[in-house]
Amino acid sequence: MGNTLITVAPTGAEVGKRDAPALPVTIDELVVAAKECEALGASVIHIHIRDDEAKPTLDLGRLRDTTEAIRTATGLIVQLSTGGAVTDPEEDRLRVLEAGPDMASCTMGTVNFGDDVFLNRWAFIVDLHTRMQDRGIVPEYEIFDLGHLAALERLLNKYGLPAGGHVHVDFVMGVAGGMPGTVEALVACKAALANLPEGTTFSATGIGRTTLPVLMASLAAGGHLRVGMEDTITYARSQPVESNAQLVARAVSFARLAQRPPMPPADARRLLGIARVG
Ligand code: KMH
Ligand code: ZN
């Protein structure tokens, strides 16, 4: 087992600034969080942006400005979310790629998402995948359920490998409507990777109280980690998360205990097949 790639997902589209005042919602706040998390050992940042009212937006200008600001301030790999919020139309989600990130997320199927539906039609997935191939943007395939891995196998068989040639997936576990955040579910997902190209890597994140079991299971299974306030705003019972750095610091200590210390961004670029040097 190699070193651990740590992704920070600092903001997301669902948590309100009022519910979590430490949530980074402005570009300046995102830059501060990114620098702190990089210094601790994160190598990838999964970005959702907010508007002036701290509401989720996919405004292209702001996405470009954010990408540039993070690149100026850090060596982190910039991964923009094409998932956005459940209310975002497909054309806005596709336009995210025009901001020119190193990576972008690509969710591999529709899933119930709390009381909502996170819609990812097959034709939309194909469009995202092929546009990323054309633009040299490396996807992170988001897997909310076991069947999403079968969809990924079908996608790669029909449309070929992603930009960079390496396949990296992220198990997003514990969403109400998706797979549970359990060791058993993670092991089932890992077993299904046997149907994907050799060398496929995975990270995992557990939403809410599944954060810790998923983190420990992923480390034990040779996987990588995603943590951040997109996925959890409670550090421990009755203890709100103080910052994204606090979550990254905890992930780093677990990774070190597992003797799989954090992977620097340059190594992460090589692993993921990202051509651009940070
Ligand atoms: N906000 C969720 C509806 C992604 O970033 O690609 C979708 C999401 C996945 O967060
Ligand atoms: Zn996201």
pLDDT at 152: 98
**Cβ contact 22:234 at 8 Å:** no
Task: For residue 33, give both structure tokens.
Answer: 């969080």
In our burial notation (b when 16+ CB lie closer than 10 A, e otherwise), range 247-261 reads: bbbbbbebbeeeebe
Give the pLDDT confidence of 62-112 residue by residue, as tens digits: 999 999 999 999 999 999 999 999 999 999 999 999 999 999 999 999 999
Distance from the alpha carbon of residue 259 to the mean position of ligand 1, in angstroms: 31
3-state secondary structure of 144: coil
Q: Cα–Cα distance between 258 and 275 in angstroms, integer?
A: 29
Total-model pTM: 0.98
**Cβ contact 141:168 at 8 Å:** yes
pLDDT at 278: 75
pLDDT at 53: 98
Indicate the top mutation candidate among 7, 14, 81, 111 to test ligand 1's pocket, ranked by most ligand atoms within 8 A of CB: 81
pLDDT at 1: 81
pLDDT at 121: 98
Q: List the domains of the chain with CATH numbers.
A: 6-272 (3.20.20.70)
Q: Name the pairing type of β-strands 234-236 and 239-240.
A: antiparallel
DSSP string, 202-220: EEEEE-GGGHHHHHHHHHH
Intervals of the chain under pLDDT 50: none
Please tell me if the CB atom of residue 105 comes closer than 6 angstroms to any atom of ligand 1: yes
Q: What residues contact 32, with CB distance under 8 A and at least 6 apart?
A: 24
Please tell me if the CB atom of residue 178 comes closer than 6 angstroms to any atom of ligand 1: no
Q: What residues contact 163, with CB distance under 8 A and at least 6 apart?
A: 132, 133, 135, 136, 137, 138, 139, 273
Distance from the alpha carbon of residue 142 to the mean position of ligand 2, in angstroms: 9
